[in-house]
């Protein structure tokens, strides 16, 4: 297995297509979303972690870098986007391997926290990797036309301590769209 960390500029058309293929297989309900773009709600990852075996991608995570507001604090975060493991490779904790590598890289880049949104059923996967759930926080995202919308309450919000250890109190404003 080979682990690679690639800046967005280093992902050429052929590799983009290959990652899209991996995402389509991993998120069968979301095939339409991954026809041309990996960028959920237009949020572009700064870099991507790939785990490859025999020239195919078996695990992926994109990282969106952003300065956001939490309460009155401005913090720099590494947002997890499109975490996935190819269906035939699940159950081996490979998601933790790419996520951990992404957080090591974020630490090297002096980022304050990791931040992710997920469904309740997979909260445990991240919790096992050291992620902590933020309870009862309003999280506001900004649409392309400037409208501000709260993300659904059923979404679980989790952070990973990096340069900073205690996530600031208060509501979260993503200063852009979610990822």
90 binds ligand COA (CB under 6 A): yes
29 binds ligand COA (CB under 6 A): no
For residue 62, CA distances in Å to 2, 26, 34, 148 come to 17, 14, 13, 24
28 binds ligand COA (CB under 6 A): no
Q: Which residues of 71-81 are buried (b: 16+ CB within 10 A; e: fewer)?
A: eeeebbbbbbb
Which of 70/84 has CB closer to ligand COA? 84
Q: Which residues of 26-60 are buried (b: 16+ CB within 10 A; e: fewer)?
A: beeeeeebbeeebbbeebebbbbbbbbeeeebbbb
CB of 71 to ligand COA, least distance (A): 25
CB of 75 to ligand COA, least distance (A): 21
95 binds ligand COA (CB under 6 A): yes
E strands present in 18-55: 47-53
Closest by Cα among 31, 132, 130, 27 to 83: 27
Which of 56/93 has CB closer to ligand COA? 93
Residue of 11, 22, 68, 84 interacting with ligand COA (CB under 6 A): 84
Residue of 121, 135, 136, 165 interacting with ligand COA (CB under 6 A): 121
In the chain, alpha helices (H):
13-26, 94-108, 123-128
26 binds ligand COA (CB under 6 A): yes
Which of 128/149 has CB closer to ligand COA? 128
Residue ranges binding ligand COA (CB under 6 A): 26-27, 83-85, 90-95, 118, 121-122, 125
């Amino acid at each position: 297995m080979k682990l690679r960390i690639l800046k967005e500029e280093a992902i050429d058309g052929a590799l983009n297509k290959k990652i899209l293929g991996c995402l389509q297989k991993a998120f069968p309900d979301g095939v339409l979303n991954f026809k041309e773009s990996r960028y959920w709600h237009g949020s572009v990852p700064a870099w991507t972690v790939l785990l490859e075996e025999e020239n195919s991608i078996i695990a992926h995570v994109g990282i969106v870098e952003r300065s956001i507001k939490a309460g009155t604090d401005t913090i720099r975060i590494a947002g997890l986007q499109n975490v996935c493991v190819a269906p035939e490779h699940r159950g081996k904790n490979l998601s933790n391997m790419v996520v951990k590598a992404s957080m090591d890289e974020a630490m090297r880049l002096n980022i304050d926290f990791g931040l992710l949104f997920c469904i309740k059923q997979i909260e445990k996967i991240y919790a096992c990797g050291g992620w902590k759930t933020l309870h009862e926080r309003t999280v506001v995202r900004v649409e392309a036309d400037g409208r501000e919308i709260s993300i659904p309450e059923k979404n679980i919000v989790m952070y990973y301590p990096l340069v900073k250890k205690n996530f600031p109190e208060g509501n979260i404003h993503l200063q852009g769209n979610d990822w």
